[in-house]
Amino acid sequence: MNKEIDSLKITSRLLSKEAESRGWKVEIIKPTSDYLQAIMRAEKDGKEFVYASTLTSLTPACGYFIASDKYLTYGFLKGTDVSIPDFVMTPGDSDDFSDAKALLTKYGRVIVKPACTDHGDGITMNITDNNQLADAIAVARKAAIESRSLAILVQQQVEGKEYRFLVVNGKCIAVANRRPAFVIGDGKKTIKELVEEKNQNPLRGEEHDKPLTKISLEEVAQINGEAFLESIPENNQEVEVLKTSNLSRGGEAVNCTDIASSELKKLAEEAAVRCQLGIAGVDIITTDIRGGGKSYVIEVNSIPGIRMHIYPSVGKPINVAKYIIDALERTAHPIANPPKTVIGRSEYVKSPFFGEDVKVPARTDTGARVASIWASDVSMSEDGRLHYRLFDKQSEFYTGEMIETDDYRVSVVRNSTGQEEMRFRVKIPITLAGKKISASFTLSDRSINSYPILIGRNIINNKFTVDVTQNKCELNSESTRKTIDEKINNELSSNPYEFYKKHAHKIVSVKGKQQS
């Protein structure tokens, strides 16, 4: 077991332990900044998948951005069968709250929240007058400073309880009611003492490292005032100390999966699919979880926490990590890059430009930057279209067909004698070693070359590996040269010096006139 897993945030830890229990080796890849989430890489049987909390390959980039902006989320849900609260947006750089005030007048009670924060940051509920509205917008803007948008949503406050619906691959697998942080009085202790006592629970930790989060006394005082902390609730009196229901603010969860109506589960599923999310936490406020009441989708989360479902304070736990890893296992892909196709120092090339089933020999040259092909009758019409024929009349592959294109460019290349030439460069569809590609060729006169096509690095790179010991298409000229080489080497072996005197004038770099 990887001991580093115990240091992860709880959702990543639960997913990693589930993956390890199935035989996956989990590697933790840490970012350069502590602010960013570590990424886990799970490997088994030559395959891998990666995840960071519930941000996975099931979460496309567009879905992540939709869910990270509440205004975008509502835009995608508006006009569908998914009910959402009425809302207006207040730009971050404007002091004009007229639309927000009109919404407050219309409904009598509103909620203010930043458009692009999570974990309940900057949310104010139960706003009933314009002074409270202005204060709440200021709080939301302060919380939104580190987000990518200072836009603020002012939203109709709807009646009912809030529930989190976890959707994986279009199916709702768990439902939880998240209760705001609360204490139960004994008629003796102050709220401050009751919160401190509750925070002693070993299941409570900082932020996201344990099943529950400690309640912040500072936040309780900020929301309710210092005097609230010194008040003494009556015996068995339940007192909410914070208004937001997030577990990251000390809230608790009640498993409601079995009692949630199928209609509400379908509502959550539709919202997740509409927001392009394979894994989503859909927050719904409803007056009746069993169905029949008024219900609204208030938020869709692209990286939902799972501890509320695995560690509910009330009700049976649901191992939702199992369902998520099930889904991720189906996305696992081979670890290594697909092996490159091996080609030899010569290959046959096919193309619809050559004719059906015509194979043209080509030489592979890893030193050539750009591939080239034998062409003739290269010209350009006044409309800027390039015209050319492949090969020429002395070639067995010549068809005489004139090819026209306006998709071309010019390249300056160095020929075999070291001189620079300007050539037109065109795209030609080819099949090389069974792989179909659109390849770029310079048009050149290869009438004196053995091979009518040269395969350069622009085709080889990232697609093929060259094995120079392989020769797929031996030309007649090559075969003839091999025969000649064999004959003269037999002559050489019989009497080397006599051979030297006889042929010295033909041998490259031999200087001086030889005596006969």
**What are the tens digits of pLDDT across the range 343-381?**
999 999 999 999 988 999 999 999 898 999 999 999 999
Assess contact for 143 and 114: CB atoms under 8 A.
yes
Residue 514 confidence (pLDDT): 45
Tell me the two tokens of residue 511.
């200087």
CA dihedral over 504, 505, 510, 512, signed as positive or negative: positive
Give the mean model confidence (pLDDT) for residues 239-253.
74
Average pLDDT, the chain: 86
Q: Which residue has the higher pLDDT, 114 or 331?
A: 331
Claim to verify: residue 454 and residue 480 sit in the same structural domain: no
Claim to verify: residue 124 and residue 216 sit in the same structural domain: no
Claim to verify: residue 238 and residue 189 sit in the same structural domain: yes
Q: Which residue has the higher pLDDT, 516 or 158?
A: 158
CA 252 and chain centroid, separation: 32
pLDDT at 268 over 90: yes
32/446 Cα distance (integer angstroms): 54
From the CB of residue 117, how many other CB atoms can be counted at a distance below 10 Å?
A: 19
Of the residues 142, 157, 172, which one is the last residue of a structural domain? 157
400-433 residues labelled b (16+ CB within 10 A) or e (exposed): eeebeeeebeebebeeeeeeeeebbbbebebebe
Claim to verify: residue 346 and residue 423 sit in the same structural domain: yes
Claim to verify: residue 102 and residue 218 sit in the same structural domain: no
CA angle 128, 129, 131 (to 5 degrees): 135
- Domain of residue 493 covers 476-506
88-118 confidence digits (pLDDT tens): 888 766 777 888 899 999 999 999 888 776 6
Of the residues 195, 217, 243, which one is the last residue of a structural domain? 243
pLDDT at 36 over 60: no
Give the mean model confidence (pLDDT) for residues 321-338.
88
Q: Report the candidate in 445, 436, 347 with the shortest Cα–Cα distance to residue 389.
A: 445
- Helices and strands in the chain: count of H runs, count of E runs: 14, 29
Q: Which residue has the higher pLDDT, 483 or 401?
A: 401
214-241 confidence digits (pLDDT tens): 887 888 788 788 888 888 888 888 877 7
Residue 455 confidence (pLDDT): 96
Out of 8-12, 129-133, 218-222, least confident range: 218-222
pLDDT at 509 over 70: no
- Is residue 516 in a domain? no
Q: Indicate the length of the chain as a whole number.
A: 516
Tell me the two tokens of residue 331.
């996305």
90/133 Cα distance (integer angstroms): 12
Residue 80 confidence (pLDDT): 77
pLDDT at 419 over 90: no
- Is residue 317 in a domain? no
Q: For 447-477, give the secondary structure using H, E and C.
A: CCCCCCEEECHHHHCCCEEECCCCCCCCCHH
Give the mean model confidence (pLDDT) for residues 143-172.
86
86/156 Cα distance (integer angstroms): 5
pLDDT at 5 over 50: yes
- Is residue 293 in a domain? no
458-502 confidence digits (pLDDT tens): 999 878 889 888 888 877 666 666 677 778 888 878 888 887 788
Claim to verify: residue 37 and residue 114 sit in the same structural domain: no
- Is residue 130 in a domain? yes
Claim to verify: residue 368 and residue 443 sit in the same structural domain: yes
- Is residue 347 in a domain? yes
- Is residue 454 in a domain? yes
Claim to verify: residue 418 and residue 459 sit in the same structural domain: yes
- Is residue 141 in a domain? yes
Q: Report the candidate in 436, 304, 460 with the shortest Cα–Cα distance to residue 367.
A: 460
pLDDT at 513 over 60: no
Tally of structural domains, the chain:
5
Claim to verify: residue 220 and residue 104 sit in the same structural domain: no
272-299 confidence digits (pLDDT tens): 999 999 999 999 999 999 988 899 999 9
Model confidence at 198, pLDDT cuts 50, 70, 90, reads confident
Claim to verify: residue 204 and residue 228 sit in the same structural domain: yes
Claim to verify: residue 447 and residue 412 sit in the same structural domain: yes
pTM: 0.59
284/296 Cα distance (integer angstroms): 5
H helices of 313-408, where? 320-329
- If residue 432 lies in a helix (H) or strand (E), which one and from where to where? strand 420-432
CA 219 and chain centroid, separation: 36
Look up the CATH number of the domain holding residue 397.
2.40.70.10
Residue 516 confidence (pLDDT): 40
- List the beta strands (DSSP E) in 287-407: 295-301, 333-334, 341-343, 346-350, 360-364, 371-380, 386-390, 403-405
Q: Which residue has the higher pLDDT, 497 or 40?
A: 40
- Is residue 283 in a domain? no
Residue 231 confidence (pLDDT): 87
